[in-house]
């Protein structure tokens, strides 16, 4: 079986589809290893993370049997109302109406994992290496970061590059995010730029490389699930943070505790979780999920089924302009006069306008739009809408950014289902 064939499947779905192969992958020892118990083939890190111990009689387990302990295993501990898309790796999104807060609560911030979180995520012994093309390589504890650099708190938007993938037709492969792979929490940490200045960026450094402590789903040592980077110019932006706090408390484990990057306005994959190293390079970083077609789109419009050479894919940088209706909840009953509200954001830019339509796009009305609380934060908007009569309505939201880029009704298809910024349509039943 190809190594990554179960990466986007839930554990139960994987066992249901091919119980014999799943049993072999999850319970049999990897080549050259002794029989060391549960998940031996996937590594003891996974075993410790899921059960914390071996299964002495695992050899008696029939194919397709998933340990009963998993039935009570809540992979969303500390989260409220999220929709679980996958359990291995854990991917969970937030329904739009639960994103109504100006600052996304930790319990409602989405989760996008590529591998398995580290077992030991304690802040006390955590260190961050800063090396590569720097004058003064450093190894910093979280206490060092707090003591040696200015600590700042900023509201910053993180959005998965595949948010909206579920709406591509024909479907694109990958986690079928709808609208909820986005959030704007208050992150506390230090500016990456300050740390890099202290390290001394050498001439010739053009790109960062980010590394985390999470492990590959295969359990293979030394094979990270993801390692991406950004151009030096983006890394030196004042709102790119090395974060150790979230909404006034520690980071949630599934959101990267105890240390992560926050790179607002760019795909969430740039915001490395469980951060252990930032390396400066003289080439565009070529780590896992940085090459090929990962987090890339064709340089020109393509039709479904078109063969696109890998060389014609471009790395996604800034995310496109987008808006979200958070109240009323789609599908809800509403009165004849109701406040509609939500958020809007646009990569590295500000949003200049949000317009609403209740007549399927024939006419538009301007919403009241707040400015961002700081660069990188989404912007709140609202509008009281009077519906002319009872019936079924759709509220369409359309944002326009400071460069004049406007949300479309539909976008071109792309092979990986990235950058879907089509208008959000909220259904209302007006009494």
Amino acid 63: pLDDT: 59
What is the model's pLDDT at position 220? 84
- For residue 172, the 8-state DSSP code is P
Distances (CA, A) of 377 to 14, 158, 190, 418, 419: 38, 9, 17, 21, 18
Give the integer Cα–Cα distance in Å for 373 and 379.
8
Q: Are 21 and 6 in contact (CB under 8 A)?
A: no
Task: Assign a CATH topology to domain 322-430.
Answer: Immunoglobulin-like (2.60.40)
State the DSSP H helix or E strand holding residue 187, giving kind and residue range, or none if neither.
strand 182-191
Distances (CA, A) of 97 to 29, 158, 388: 45, 17, 24
Per residue in 134-193, pLDDT (tens digit) is: 999 999 999 999 999 999 999 999 999 999 999 999 999 999 999 999 999 999 999 999
Tokens 């808006």 locate to 323
pLDDT over threshold 90, residue 202:
yes
Say how far apart CA 371 and CA 136 lie, in whole Å: 39
Characterise 69 by phi-psi region: left (phi > 0), alpha (psi -120 to 50), beta (else).
alpha
Query: Any idea which fold 90-315 has?
Result: Sulfite Oxidase; Chain A, domain 2 (3.90.420)
pTM for this entry: 0.85
Helix, strand or coil for residue 357?
strand
pLDDT at residue number 366: 98
Question: What's the burial of 72, exposed, middle or buried (CB within 10 Å: 0-12/13-18/19+)?
Answer: exposed
> Strand 182-191 to strand 260-262: parallel, antiparallel, or no bridges (unpaired)?
unpaired
Question: According to CATH, where is 3.90.420.10 located in the chain?
Answer: 90-315
Domain with CATH 2.60.40.650 in the chain: 322-430
List pLDDT tens digits, range 265-295: 999 999 999 999 999 999 999 999 999 999 9
């Amino acid at each position: 079986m190809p190594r990554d064939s179960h990466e986007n499947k839930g554990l139960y779905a994987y066992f249901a589809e091919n119980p014999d192969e799943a049993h072999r992958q999850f319970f049999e020892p990897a080549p050259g290893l002794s029989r060391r118990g549960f998940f031996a083939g996937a590594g003891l890190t996974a075993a410790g993370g899921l059960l914390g111990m071996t299964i002495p009689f695992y050899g008696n387990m029939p194919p397709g049997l998933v340990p009963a302990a998993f039935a009570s295993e809540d992979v969303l501990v500390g989260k409220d109302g999220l929709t679980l898309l996958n359990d291995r790796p854990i991917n969970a999104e937030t329904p739009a109406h639960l994103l109504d807060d100006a600052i996304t609560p930790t319990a409602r911030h989405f989760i996008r994992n590529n591998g398995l979180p580290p077992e030991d995520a304690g802040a006390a012994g955590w260190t961050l290496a800063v090396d590569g093309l720097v004058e003064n390589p450093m190894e910093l504890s979280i206490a060092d970061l707090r003591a040696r650099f200015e600590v700042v708190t900023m509201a910053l938007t993180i959005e998965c590059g595949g948010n909206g993938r579920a709406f591509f037709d024909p479907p694109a492969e990958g986690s079928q995010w709808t609208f909820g792979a986005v959030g704007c929490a208050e992150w506390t940490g230090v500016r990456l730029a300050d740390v890099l200045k202290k390290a001394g960026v050498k001439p010739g450094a053009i790109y960062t490389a980010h590394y985390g402590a999470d492990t590959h789903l295969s359990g293979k040592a030394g094979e990270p699930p993801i390692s991406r980077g950004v151009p030096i110019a983006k890394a030196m932006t004042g709102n790119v943070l090395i974060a150790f706090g979230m909404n006034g408390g520690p980071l949630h484990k599934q959101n990267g505790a105890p240390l992560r990057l926050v790179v607002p306005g760019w795909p969430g994959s740039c915001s490395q979780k469980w951060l252990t190293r930032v390396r400066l390079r003289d080439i565009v970083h070529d780590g896992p999920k940085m090459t090929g077609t990962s987090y890339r789109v064709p340089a020109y419009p393509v039709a479904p089924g078109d063969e696109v050479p890998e060389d014609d894919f471009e790395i996604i940088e800034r995310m496109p302009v987008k808006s979200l209706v958070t109240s009323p909840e789609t599908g809800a009953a509403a009165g004849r006069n109701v406040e509609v509200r939500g958020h809007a954001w646009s990569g590295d830019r500000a949003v200049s306008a949000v317009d609403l339509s209740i007549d399927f796009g024939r006419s538009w009305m301007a919403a009241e739009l707040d400015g961002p609380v700081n660069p990188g934060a989404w912007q709140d908007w609202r509008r009281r809408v009077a519906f002319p009569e009872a019936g079924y309505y759709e509220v369409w939201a359309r944002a326009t950014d400071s460069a004049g880029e406007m949300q479309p009704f539909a976008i071109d298809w792309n092979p990986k289902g990235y950058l879907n910024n089509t208008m959000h349509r909220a259904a209302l039943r007006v009494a």
